[in-house]
Amino acid sequence: MNGIDHRLQTFIHPTDRRCLMVDTSAGLSLGPLAGLENFPAAVRPILSHADGVVCSPGQIGKLSNLKKDDAALLVRMDWNNTLRGSDFVLPAASARRIPLLTPQEALDLGASGMVNTFLLGYDEEVEAACLYSTVQFALEGKTIGLPLLVEIQATGSGVSIPGKAVELGASYALEGGADVIVVPYPGYDSLKTIAAFASVPWLIHPTGLKEASVELEQALGLGAAGVWLDYTIFREADPRGVLDELGRLVHSEIVGAR
């Protein structure tokens, strides 16, 4: 087993090849997030209820002394301002994206994987930079045994058909060398298209927590490897309960065997 496969198994369960991932890194762009003001206190209780947690470079060191059954920690490799809406205190005038780490630096932080954003619908320079980073991270990651997850964000004003944009982003990520692809829910027809060509594990980022169960079941039925949840999970009164409910869907074969 090579380093990539070994680290993939730290967050994609080796028995059913599925994963429940929680992304806590949006504060890089948005600042303090509701429910995550005290990062360690908020995240430690959910570590045994998820398979992986995505952190910013500054957050990952705050979750040391993990237990055997705790989630693997992954690190966000880039900063961008596209999460900032018009109501943000400093709304983005134009899309900007900055790489934060090299793969070796991610490995030195103890990360089990790298997460890179692939933006669509923005200036050609932005999309080209996303593709370049994807290729470079993938190449170096394979050298040092660190897997690359590519998260598709088809949120730019240039996107006219969201489902098709997500399909295109997934194909770019795959061709760029991603080991795992994360797609926002694009509609059932686009999910089928992605499932037909995806040759690596792929996760669905649901529209919202209310829609998560239905969209996840659709994706799993088409061969998805699991679900990707964002920081809004920490706005819930009982984040662990929500994670357990979705975890039963993701790992239904394992749960059923117990």
Exposure class string for 147-174: b at 16+ Cβ within 10 A, else e: bbbbbbbbbbeebeebbbbbbbbbbbbb
Domain count, the chain: 1
Determine, yes or no, domain membership for 255: no
- Containing domain of residue 192, as a range? 3-11+18-43+53-238
Retrieve residue 206's tokens: 């649901």
From first to last of the 258 residues of the chain, give the pLDDT tens digit: 688 999 999 999 999 999 999 999 998 888 888 899 999 999 999 999 999 999 999 999 999 888 989 999 999 999 988 777 767 666 666 788 999 999 999 999 999 999 999 999 999 999 999 999 999 999 999 999 999 999 999 999 899 999 999 999 999 999 999 999 999 999 999 999 999 999 999 999 999 999 999 999 999 999 999 999 999 999 999 999 999 999 999 998 654 443
The letter for the amino acid at 49 is H
Helix (H, G, I), strand (E, B) or coil at 54: strand
Evaluate if pTM is beyond 0.85: yes
Q: What is the CATH classification number for the domain harbouring 79?
A: 3.20.20.70
SS3 for 85? coil
